[in-house]
Amino acid sequence: MIIISVIGEKNTGKTTFLKGLVASLSAGGLRVGVIKHHYGEFSMDTEGKDSDVLRKAGAVRSAVCNDYKISLADEGPGPLNLHEIARKYFSDLDILFTEGYKKETTMKIEVVRRGFSAGLLEENRNDVLFYVSDAPLDTRLPVYGHGDYEKCTRAVLSFYNDSSSGKEDNGGVELYANGEQLPLKTFIAGFFRDVNLGLLKNLKGYGSDREIVIKIKPRRQENKGGTKD
C-alpha cells in the first residue's frame, strides 16, 4: 500500500479533485481508501442514538454494521499517527489518499487555484508527485489541470508501480538484518521513522540533524531447564 496526501489551501478544490481521481483509479480495479484530516473535535455519531450513548458510557471502540457496511468509532489513547492508522485500518488496500496531513512523511499532490493559493505549500520539497492547478506554475515538477484525471491517474499509477517493485523513497529510513538491507514499503518506513523520532526527541544529546543508527541484538534463548545456552 502507498499513502498519498492531497494538500492545498482552503477552497482550492481538493475534495472535487480527489473524488475524480479515486473514481478513475477504482475503475481500474485498485482498492482505494481515503482519510479526511480534521483539526477540531468531531463526531460521526448522532446525539442520543444508541451508538452515541454506548460510546459515551465508556466503550473504547464501537461500530454500526449491516451486511454490507461498517461505521467504526475508535477512541484513540492520544494523538493519532497517520501511519499507525493506515497500518491498523487500511493495510489491505492498494492506495490510501489523505485530504490534509501535509506535515506527515507521505508523498504529496498539491492542489492550487488562482485567488485562493498564496504560494506553493510544498515548494523546495522532495515529497511532491505533481501539482494540480488552473494556471501555469514556476516549478520543475509536472503540473496538471484540475480535470485532467487521465494524466493524474497515470502519474499515480507510475508511483504505485515503482513502490510495489521496491523503488519508493523511504524518507531516509533503511533497515538491515545481519548486514542485509530489508525492503520497506513507504508507510512502514514512515511509521518506523515517526515512532522512533518521537521517542528520541526526549533523550539528552539527540539532535534532529544527526543520523540515527539503532541496533537490536537478539536475546539469548533459554532452554527448558531455565539455563541460558
The letter for the amino acid at 34 is V
Which is nearest to 100 in space by CA: 228, 163, 7, 207? 7
User: Which residue's entry shows cell 516549478?
Assistant: 139
Domains in the chain, number: 1
**100 close to 9: Cβ distance less than 8 angstroms:** no
- How far apart CA 56 and CA 105 sit, in angstroms, is 33
**pLDDT of 193 over the 80 cut:** no
Residue 191 belongs to a domain: no
Residue 79 belongs to a domain: yes
Residue 209 belongs to a domain: no
- How far apart CA 129 and CA 107 sit, in angstroms, is 6
**pLDDT of 229 over the 50 cut:** no
- How far apart CA 187 and CA 208 sit, in angstroms, is 21
Residue 134 belongs to a domain: yes
CA distance readout (Å), 151 to 35, 84, 167, 187 = 23, 31, 21, 24
Q: Which domain holds residue 34?
A: 2-43+51-62+69-164
pLDDT digits (tens, 9 = 90+) for 55-114: 777 777 777 788 888 878 777 666 778 888 888 889 889 999 999 888 888 899 999 998
- How far apart CA 15 and CA 80 sit, in angstroms, is 22
Residue 9 belongs to a domain: yes
Residue 38 belongs to a domain: yes
Instruction: Give Cα 93 to chain centroid, integer Å.
Output: 12
Residue 29 belongs to a domain: yes
**110 close to 100: Cβ distance less than 8 angstroms:** no
pLDDT digits (tens, 9 = 90+) for 115-139: 888 777 666 567 889 999 999 988 8
Q: Which DSSP helix (H) or strand (E) runs through 112?
A: strand 107-112
**What would you measure as the largest C-alpha separation in the chain, in angstroms?**
74
Q: Residue 58's domain is classified under what CATH number?
A: 3.40.50.300
Query: Which residues lie below 8 Å from residue 175, measured CB to CB, with a gap of 6+?
Result: 181, 182, 184, 189, 192
pLDDT digits (tens, 9 = 90+) for 22-37: 999 999 999 999 998 7
Residue 215, exposed/middle/buried by CB under 10 A (0-12, 13-18, 19+)?
Answer: exposed
